[in-house]
Amino acid sequence: MKIIRWIVLIVCGAILGFNIYNINANRLMRNQLPMPFGYGMATVLSGSMEPEFSKGDLLIVGEPDELKINDIVVFEDGSSLVVHRIIDIQDETLVTKGDANNVADEPITQDAVRGTVIACIPSVGAAIDFIKTPIGTILTIALAILFLELPVYMGKRQDDEELESLKEEIRRLKEDVIK
């Protein structure tokens, strides 16, 4: 049980640390896609990349290497991030398009690309986005503490009941000896 408690505490600490890192990166550094150790996460917010990615999928994004046609990239478009496929490259300019869209996006520069998609975990993005919120973080930590401490409390309660039962048995035996 101690090992499980430590694992849950480490996971909660990692979630809390990651959320603090994200808050600092987003608010202080104006970085919409923090990528510690060269990797980041993004959630698909629309159906523009159907059937490749669906709304709510979690994407693992790596730092962009040499960009080529058919790479799926995450790029900044104003104040939002967009996940689309490169359909044309002209010098330092990229033309992207969502797989489900009929029209290509406005051309972007390679500097706008924040990363390339390296993996997708279906339907997990919504849960991760919730955990990233302050309420989600607090709820996750509260549930973890409840998960860890409830069995300890129940075990202690059972031990106390057994101890009381033993004390009562000792009292009864003492009374029998005295009689």
Query: Would you please indicate which residues are annotated as catalytic (active-site) residues?
Result: 46
Secondary structure class of 119 (helix, strand, coil) = strand
CA torsion sign for 58, 99, 84, 117 is positive
Secondary structure class of 168 (helix, strand, coil) = helix
Distance CA 25, CA 27 (A): 6
Distance CA 74, CA 160 (A): 57
